[in-house]
Structure 1
Amino acid sequence: MPKKKPTTTPKDGGTPKKRATTKRTSSSAKAPATKKTTKKKTAKKPATKKAPPQSAKRKTPAKPRKPAAVDRKPAKKTPTKTTAKKKAPTARSSTPPQKRATPAAGVTADNTDAKKKRAEYRRQHSAKSSREDSSAVRDIGEIPKVADPERRAAALADFLTFCLTYFAHRFPLEFSEDHKRVAGKIQAAILEGALSAVAMPRGSGKTTLTEVGCLFALVCGKHDFLVLIGSDKESATDMLESIKGEIETNDLLAEDFPEVCFPVRALEGISNRCKGQTYHGVRTRITWSSTRVTLPTIKGSQSSGVTIRCTGITGRIRGMKHAMSDGRNVRPTLVIIDDPQTDEAADSDTQVAKLERTLNGAILGLAGPGVKISGIMPCTVIRAGDLADRILDMKLSPEWNGEKCRMLYAWPDNLTHWETYNEIRVEDLQAGRLNFPNATKYYLKNQRAMKKNARVAWPARHNKDEVDALQHAMNLWFKNPYSFMAEYQNDPPDELAVDDEDICTADHIAAKTSGYQCGLVPNWATRITIGVDVHKELLYWLALATDDQFTGQVISYGTWPEQPMRHFQMRKARPKISDITRQNGLKGAGLEGRLTFAMQKLVEEQLAVRRWEVDGGGEMVAVRIVIDMGYQANTVRNFIRNSPMAGILWPSKGLPIKATGKPMDEWSVPKGTHTGPSWRISPPPRGQAVRHIDYDANFWKTFIHARLAMAKGDPASHALYKQSPTHHRLLAEHVANAEKPKKLKENGREVIEWKLKSNKPDNHLLDCYQLACLGASHCGARLPEQQPAIPQASAQDEYEVNF
């Protein structure tokens, strides 16, 4: 076929020739141009004998469109400048696509298999390379050698040397003798398996010593599992973070203990790397979290796999164990207990008792049967009788080997000079001279006299603007004497105590027991009286056996409903009165109905009819049951009036007669009034048929303490039935710790006033005790020095007085 000259698009984007415009502007117009270009590039190639190319079909020119069509739509047929630019690349396009020859079926399958094999090879090779790269990254490489073996050995042999060698930055001042002694206790606990409790002045570094002690225990490898316990979880985790920080950043420690520090530093603070970390291809099994640290498992390391875990003393403690790399399950053998009580806990006898049970039970039992546990407990005495005070008391807790360190072991003789010094110091402070320069000048001038016989524990401890440690200590004393005695002397004065030998402590009361078992009446007793204290959900009671001279024996006490635990708080009592009434079909009963039901069950069916065994033979019954009517007075009166045991039941009401008030014994005695020592029975008010006993509560509470303070065997001395102090702790706390006594003098008389503490602890057994004493006095018991002015009365007489 004759060759036709292809139509091209002008480079300037102008209007093409008329012949080109008669064709379609799509594929038919572009084909000749493409063919010409193809021929120039493939002129030397042989023509294919297969199916003709598509371009060959375009050699026949298309029929020209009618001019009318062109005239109708000239805009579409005349390319613009933009259109020309877009079509230019098409005019320079390469060879048009050719049809590929279809391979045979067998060839296609072979090619597919080959491709799959090559892809699989590449995938496996890539995975192998990735694994090798990952393994190389996870492996920590060679651990450096110990920089100074002799220095390391000396530090491991002595805890104090360990502190000064690697942690000198944390102990900037020279150690005192107290520090050295405490360091020895910590070392003994770690290396020998002892229990050590130490109280140091605030700011003496006891927590820092404890943290370094933890590190010492970790690197020496004497214990596989350590537990760090704080007053709460947050305080424990703070200590653990401090320990972790030393392992990560202490370069000197890393030089001598590379098997511990090097793998930790390889983590670079990323705890997710722990699971994959290896040493010579073996997992180190390291753990680095906020509550648990497991040192790396390194063959030949004495601290390999050692674990320390932290928790609060009120958290989950029981059942702790740790799996070692050799398959052993180990339990904790060292506990570090840092200041386990908060201020709030220290102020509550109930919480103190609970913490003490946790300490001596769950914590010291962590090691399991047959394994000795070691323990370190740095603590601070917040108040007398708190947990720290009890643990440090060698009489109460000798196994803890407790020791109290002080800031000032001997006070200066010349306190007059110090009072003058303080006056000058206050003037300086009021004038804005915060460093009190004039007071310091006075001290320097009279230093020899002001220091005479004074002995400070830590001579290096004082501020830069102070001359010495004695001036520092006295400044703290003048700032707040109570805080100084508590936080720096570890000997807080009992702010509630009265300087009176007749006021007993809870420990004294709990320990003052006789040889008579619970429920057994001494053969010298002539009567049994019982006090009952009424509350919404619980009734308390106490039974007292006395003779005519008021010698007494507490033979039993308890509650209704009876509680499963010896030590409890009333607000947490279970079961309660309402629980028992529901069980007995009184679900809809009101408060009066529930209390009446409870008093019937306790008083009428138990206390009033119980026959108490007398030592040596015989039985006795109660001759007086005095019930407090401070709560629901009308309910108590109605119960007594309708009771078949009304002849021995008496309602009572305590009156807090203060020193400013007139003593009850000096009150006028109207006709029909019966009186006794600080109590009286007046005619019943109009409309009330039941009389009640008014009594001076301050007098009878002091009376109880005086009886318990007396030596055993003396007339009018009281004791508790034979049991352990722990058994009697609830009664002792109600009597001694619930109320604060305050001695006052007014109008020539001295009175001890009792006031419930601000946290409102339970004092109900104290109320029962004074009601039982009141009942004994009502029946004729009197102190040896008192005149026998109170006629003894029989139950029948009292029945006639009651109504």
Structure 2
Amino acid sequence: MTFITCSEVAGEAEARPRRVAGQIDERLLTLAEGRRVLTELDPLLFALVYLPHHLRGPETGDAISFSGAHFEWCELAQRYIRPINTFEHGDLRDAIIAPRGLGKSTWWFLIFPMWMASHGHRSFLAAFANCDTQATDHSGTFKREIVTNALLRYDFPKLCAPARRPTGVSISDSQRMCIAESGFVFTGRGIDSQVLGLKIGSRRPDHIILDDIEGTKGNYSANQKVSRLKTLVSGILPMNNKAPVMMAGTVAIPGAIVDDIAAKQRGEQYPAWVDDERFTPRYFDVIQTDERGNERSLWPERWSMDWISTVRHTRQFQIRCATTRWPLTPPSGSVRTSWSAPAWRSRTSWKIRRGLMGMWRMGAACFGI
């Protein structure tokens, strides 16, 4: 019989804490309780077990692959295991600045919310986007998953069943909001909608997500920035000052909200509100450069260096893939603490990554994926 150790599956204990000690019997993946225990503290394994169809696509040849950024995002998400009353105001406010196509929406609007909802790490998630349509698309994707995902429905039936009134009618069945029997709430709204005082009964959001809240340069003005920054600082963040906040975006508009935060990462002068609201920029350049100046792709299976080399000079590449307003090779002396290939390799061995993929293959065999 084959066994896989926890360290092979999930890395060192301090990097990927687990409640399960010792060895993992692959038969656990065939049991609902086993799957729940194994995925409770591991969002990456949760994605592989319950949402593998969202990890593959035509861009990667319909194969499951990961960027180093995805592993780092999973580490960031593990901080959400702690109850929010253990944090100080504004402790977890991150800006994920990454190229389009890296999977920001998939991971931050679907996988991590579903993981938190399934295991009760959070109970009320509020998501905001550039417009109502974009926001309801996210909430709609979440709702479709809990309706159609057979394994998820089997293992987490109360999450996948709507909360009902005594008459049997669903409490909420709208494009903007879903309320589960478990008590979990997911609401998606446009940034310009009325957000002040959002709550359900006495409950306020305990997790806030912001997706591309400024749209594109073509329909975004300086006055709009002022208005949306006011909405963010005075309307959204005060909903719950201890709630983790994740803002996803690209730096496509100089002087925009995301660019203000990115300027901190670049070592440039930036507005005081960034520190006042305690946002931390987390940069993921499409082209990674090591200490010797060697370049590699952030996600080789998605963007090969051969392809990048042929298009890196084009405006379309700069708009879709560049996360900065500067050339892809940052000027000397710039402050960069973004993920890099050497840094990732120093934290996570190939043995660990092979273990993760081994766990995925076991799950695939068990579930016929």
What amino acid maps onto 2:141 in structure 1?
S
Alignment of 1:240-259 (within 5 A): 240-259=139-158
Residue 391 (structure 1) shift:
2.7
Distance 1:366 1:216, change over 3 A: same
Deviations 1:729-756 (A, max 9, x none): xxxxxxxxxxxxxxxxxxxxxxxxxxxx
- Name the TM-score, length of structure 2 as normaliser: 0.67
Distance 1:455 1:186, change over 3 A: same
In the alignment, structure 1 residue 378 sits paired with structure 2 residue 248: yes
In the alignment, structure 1 residue 475 sits paired with structure 2 residue 310: yes
The count of aligned residue pairs is 274
**1:306 aligned partner:** 184
**1:318 aligned partner:** 196
**2:267 aligned partner:** none
Distance 1:385 1:403, change over 3 A: same
The 3-state SS of whatever aligns with 2:96 is: strand
| Aligned residues with identical type, % of pairs | 25
**2:38 aligned partner:** 154
Residue 186 (structure 1) shift:
3.1
Separation in 2 of the partners of 1:490 and 1:166?
30
Separation in 1 of the partners of 2:47 and 2:222?
37
Maintained 8 Å contact 1:294/1:308 = yes
What amino acid maps onto 1:354 in structure 2?
S
Which region of structure 1 is more displaced relative to structure 2, 396-405 or 207-216?
396-405
Residue 410 (structure 1) shift:
3.1
1:205 paired residue among 89, 99, 103: 103
Structure with larger Rg? 1
What amino acid maps onto 1:179 in structure 2?
H
Superposition RMSD in Å: 2.8
The 3-state SS of whatever aligns with 2:198 is: coil
What amino acid maps onto 1:213 in structure 2?
F
The higher-RCO structure (CA 8 Å, 6+ apart) is 2
Separation in 1 of the partners of 2:282 and 2:177?
30
- Name the TM-score, length of structure 1 as normaliser: 0.32
Separation in 1 of the partners of 2:322 and 2:301?
17
Distance 1:170 1:224, change over 3 A: closer
Deviations 1:85-106 (A, max 9, x none): xxxxxxxxxxxxxxxxxxxxxx
Alignment of 1:22-61 (within 5 A): none
1:179 paired residue among 63, 70, 79: 70
**2:283 aligned partner:** 404
Deviations 1:471-521 (A, max 9, x none): 12123324x2x3323431201249xxxxxxxxxxxxxxxxxxxxxxxxxxx
Maintained 8 Å contact 1:231/1:340 = yes
Maintained 8 Å contact 2:130/2:214 = yes
Separation in 1 of the partners of 2:176 and 2:31?
31
What amino acid maps onto 2:310 in structure 1?
N
The 4+ residue runs of structure 1 with deviation greater than 6 A are: none
What amino acid maps onto 2:285 in structure 1?
R
**1:28 aligned partner:** none
**1:239 aligned partner:** 138
The 3-state SS of whatever aligns with 1:197 is: strand
2:227 paired residue among 351, 354, 367: 354
Residue 189 (structure 1) shift:
4.5
What amino acid maps onto 1:454 in structure 2?
E
**2:364 aligned partner:** none
Deviations 1:579-625 (A, max 9, x none): xxxxxxxxxxxxxxxxxxxxxxxxxxxxxxxxxxxxxxxxxxxxxxx
**1:458 aligned partner:** 299
Separation in 2 of the partners of 1:288 and 1:477?
45
Distance 1:286 1:149, change over 3 A: farther
The 3-state SS of whatever aligns with 1:402 is: strand
Alignment of 1:134-153 (within 5 A): 147-153=31-37
Separation in 2 of the partners of 1:460 and 1:391?
29
Maintained 8 Å contact 2:217/2:253 = no
Maintained 8 Å contact 1:186/1:376 = no
The 3-state SS of whatever aligns with 1:364 is: helix
Which region of structure 1 is more displaced relative to structure 2, 171-180 or 241-250?
171-180
Deviations 1:41-86 (A, max 9, x none): xxxxxxxxxxxxxxxxxxxxxxxxxxxxxxxxxxxxxxxxxxxxxx
Residue 198 (structure 1) shift:
0.2
Alignment of 1:558-637 (within 5 A): none
